[in-house]
Structure 1
Amino acid sequence: MQDRIKRLFHSAASRNGSYSVGAIVLVIAIVIVVNLIAGQLPEKVKRIDISDNRIYEISDKSKKILKKLDTEITFKIFAEKEKTDDRIKTFINKYASLSDKIAVEWIDPVLHPSELSANNVESDTVLISCKDTQKSTTVAFGDIIVSDDSSYYMTGSVSETQFDGEGQFTSAVKYVTDDVARKVYYTTGHGEDTFSSSVSDLLGKNNMEEEELNLIMTGKIPEDCSLLILNGPSSDITEEEKETITSYLASGGKVFLLLGEAREDTPNLDGLMKEYGMEQEKGYIADMQRSYQGNYYYIFPVLDASSGLTEGMSSDMVMLVNAHGMNMSDPVRDTITTTPFMTTSSDGYAVTEDNQKQGTYTLGAVATETVGDEEARFTVISAGTLIDSQVTDAFSTLENLTLFSNAVAANYDDMENVAIEPKSLEVTYNTMQHAGMISIAVIFGIPLVILIYGFLRWLKRRKA
């Protein structure tokens, strides 16, 4: 019996079996070691973003802000961790791993209900605070994964539309570490357009508080105004309002004008612009070279990268609809410098009912003047459609809002645009509607070659 057992283990089959068992054990050991090593890697290394629309991808802008953090920040998450959406947990871990100044603490509101009232928060909320500045703010889970409640009435379920983790957290971090308060006033009383929710959201992410201002009623610009915006006025300002704005600029103020659909002449607005070296051309601007599918009044302007207003823009795809044109002229003072940053091509046309005048027209310009220790800044964009939701929502690839945010942030030396737009959660479907030769080769050709090769190998071994 012993001899039989010895012969069994010395046979070729037993040796091959031993080699197979040994190889399996070795592979299992390697897998265990690799997993142990991977478990010790930092979050930013071991988590690869394979999500649709790259919702976990963090921009260079946020990475730069987190890298420069020099004060401790705490993320207190008031939620049941095991019930929290995995996308939120994953993003928080990845975001916090980019800075050793961020500490994450989970607080279960079911086990510790008193913590909600003590911190004045609700469940499913992230409280972000900085001990040095004594400032804090909150980000609700509903602001990270944004849902379209209106879809419930059509489909019977609420659809998720956007993931805004990076935008919310970077704005919050910037807010709690920044001790500068900025207030934006927007004028009323001249048929101005209201800000869309997207614009208000971007201003909020840049930690700017907005409030309306009727200059006809107040007669002055508040002292806490850090930026005055005239958003698409359809009628002229009064002579008194012009003098008020001129005095504000002369004292180092910041004014942002987006031209609107004026139903009548606007001599006071025109006069204000002319003082700062900008003269409005009559009519609407068409561009024969840079237009949307032959709609010559839907213009893709030429952007000047040297202006610094294109930072963070990957495509420079900005669209203006029914824009007015401007020509540069001499300002009233030599101390004023006026610089265009957005123009038409050389095939631009100023079109009126009676005439078409060809030229290269300015669509956006900035006038600056040093006043003591301050820099006055007058920004003019020739179409309020830059931030019109009917344009920005209809064309999701446009970077209108990024340009607007950069132009707002450029008014301040100590401010950078941290308004990061949310990522879409809409499902992207792969189809074969327009499959090219490469697609056909990958989908059908390679598997077919592998099958044929396998069949030939099987046939050869069978005949052997």
Structure 2
Amino acid sequence: MNNEKKTSEKKGFKGFFKARSTRRGAAAIALTALVIAAVVLVNLVLAAVTNTHPLYIDVTENSSFKLQPETEEFASSIDKDVTIYILQTEANFESGDSTNYRYFIQANKLVHAIVNCSDHIDLHYVDLTSNPTFTKDYPNINWTESHIALVVSGDNYRAIDLTDMFSYDEQQYQYYGTYVINGQHVEQSIMTAIMNVTAENKTKVTLLSGQGEQEMTAFTKLLENNAFEVETVSLLNGKISADSEFVIIYDPEVDIDSDTYKKLTDWLNNGDQYGHNLFYFPNDQHDLSDYPNLNALIADYGMELRNGYIYENANDHLIPGYNHYISIMDYADEDQTFKKELRSTKIPVVMSLTMPVNITDDTVATPLLTSTDKAIFFPKDLTEEEAEKFDPKAEKLNGVAIGKRNDGTTDGKSSSVVVIGSYDAMTSSYISSPAYNNAAYFVNLFNTLCERENVSIVIEGKNPAANSLGLTSVNDIVFPSILVRYIIPIAVLLAGIVIWIRRRFR
């Protein structure tokens, strides 16, 4: 009896394991287990990879978490080791406040994206509160000021301020002392810092002082950001550095004296070696007769200024909401020398209160930027009687022109004088706007004249507050992580259970 019972039990167990439904169920369970194991393995691999190469899907309407092509191109070409230090913890850097946090989240993602472009770029977060000795290795930085980042390559380093990385409501700051961010320049600030610390030889530019010149803070910073070394010199008691390739005279209140005139002409001649360049931005508030020496200097290079302004009448060259004295200039460089390296000539250069530059010797001087042929010359300080007799003539007028002199040989270097009829063209409102090409054009002009590769960094920032494609949470940006960690494993597990139950009870 016992033997029969044992035999029956054995047959029952064997029958259960041999049953088709059991085999199907076991296969389903095994398959489910294998899929789950594979998902877990993929998850572990992705977790390891994303520690150094974070993966994100940018679902914002204007791809605000995606680098501009210029950034990717420049970052991928870097061949020197560079370290970016964010001077706080990552959590603190991203947190910001209720008004600005979106910009800081965007900034952090963009910095990570820059790092991912090159194996030569590294990223670290340093909390200066818990690491106060960090600053001692960088003595040339004023650490009493607030810096948001530091870029280092070898012995070279450059600090980045909050106002370098973000634009803000200046009126709000003036009244309340608080920063309300309204734009970002993350890519531009990081990449210009990298360019500065990796540049082997910086071209020197001399700002002339002593004639009541206006400050050109925005343009100076633009030059420094593009690896130019800027010095300020008064020829009344100093001299231009021997290795300086540029002199800038910006909006002088008075004329240069005869001694300074001789020093500048000798410097341009450079012992018949040439290779020097002078930029002149005239002051439009005084009569040209007040500047005989500067007039003589540009006359030596085939140019003269007219005592008045360009008044543009072509509607497609006017800026909406502004008067006819502020207008888009046309690129007049026929042989493409000074515009072929520009990324786009469709973006306009805009100038205001522009004094026309006449060409008096076309064998020496050529126009660079012009008005349309519908513009007129409007003289300054017309008397009532003169205004009644004034008969304007439509003509193409030069806003910027260049004169060159050399030793007459085809392969010799030239010295150049560039006259820019509008000093406003180099103010912050024009060179900081991505809608205008002023910054890119004039930096490219400097690069071309000193025969340096055009490495200018002018990158438009994107607004993270722009409309998204229906996804507004920060978690939407890390969707792949949620998908791999939770959605796929749960879906596979549920599918396996459903399949097993259906087959078990079929």
Q: TM-score, normalised by structure 1?
A: 0.72
> In the alignment, is residue 288 of structure 1 matched against residue 288 of structure 2?
no
After superposition, where does 1:150-189 map in structure 2 within 5 Å?
A: 151=172, 154=175, 158-189=179-210
Pairwise CA distance, 1:159: 0.8
Gaps of 5+ in 1: 1-20, 431-464
- Work out which of the two has the higher radius of gyration on C-alpha atoms and give 1 or 2: 2
Letter in 2 for 1:91: L
Residues 50 and 233 of structure 1: is their aligned pair in 2 closer, same or farther, counting only changes over 3 Å? farther
Q: Which one of 239, 242, 245 corresponds to residue 226 of structure 1?
A: 245
Distance in 2 (CA, whole Å) between partners of 1:262 and 1:156 is: 34
Alignment-derived partner of residue 302 in structure 1: 330
Residues 330 and 243 of structure 1: is their aligned pair in 2 closer, same or farther, counting only changes over 3 Å? same
Alignment-derived partner of residue 47 in structure 1: 56
Q: TM-score, normalised by structure 2?
A: 0.67
Pairwise CA distance, 1:360: 1.6
Asked whether the equivalents of residues 368 and 375 of structure 1 are also in contact (C-alpha less than 8 Å), the reply is: yes
Asked whether the equivalents of residues 366 and 377 of structure 1 are also in contact (C-alpha less than 8 Å), the reply is: yes
CA RMSD of aligned residues (A): 4.2
After superposition, where does 1:54-453 map in structure 2 within 5 Å?
A: 55-85=64-94, 86-109=105-128, 112-118=131-137, 125-131=148-154, 134-140=155-161, 143-148=164-169, 151=172, 154=175, 158-196=179-217, 198-215=218-235, 217-218=236-237, 220-251=239-270, 252=274, 253-264=276-287, 265=289, 266-289=291-314, 290-293=317-320, 295-304=323-332, 306-309=336-339, 311-313=342-344, 315-330=346-361, 336=364, 338-352=365-379, 353=382, 354-370=390-406, 374-389=413-428, 397-420=435-458, 423=461, 425=463, 427-428=465-466
Distance in 2 (CA, whole Å) between partners of 1:351 and 1:150 is: 35
Letter in 2 for 1:327: N
Asked whether the equivalents of residues 284 and 355 of structure 2 are also in contact (C-alpha less than 8 Å), the reply is: no
More displaced 10-residue stretch of structure 1: 92-101 or 75-84: 75-84
Asked whether the equivalents of residues 256 and 379 of structure 1 are also in contact (C-alpha less than 8 Å), the reply is: yes
Pairwise CA distance, 1:255: 0.7
**Equivalenced residues, count:** 410
Residues 271 and 32 of structure 1: is their aligned pair in 2 closer, same or farther, counting only changes over 3 Å? farther
Structure number with higher relative contact order (C-alpha < 8 Å, ≥ 6 residues apart): 2
Letter in 1 for 2:56: R
Pairwise CA distance, 1:342: 0.8
Distance in 2 (CA, whole Å) between partners of 1:238 and 1:172 is: 39
Pairwise CA distance, 1:288: 1.6
Distance in 2 (CA, whole Å) between partners of 1:199 and 1:180 is: 20
Gaps of 5+ in 2: 1-28, 95-104, 383-389, 469-506
SS at match of 1:228: strand
Identity %: 20
Asked whether the equivalents of residues 71 and 130 of structure 1 are also in contact (C-alpha less than 8 Å), the reply is: yes
Distance in 2 (CA, whole Å) between partners of 1:224 and 1:175 is: 18
Pairwise CA distance, 1:98: 0.9
Letter in 1 for 2:330: V
Asked whether the equivalents of residues 368 and 378 of structure 1 are also in contact (C-alpha less than 8 Å), the reply is: yes
Residues 238 and 95 of structure 1: is their aligned pair in 2 closer, same or farther, counting only changes over 3 Å? same
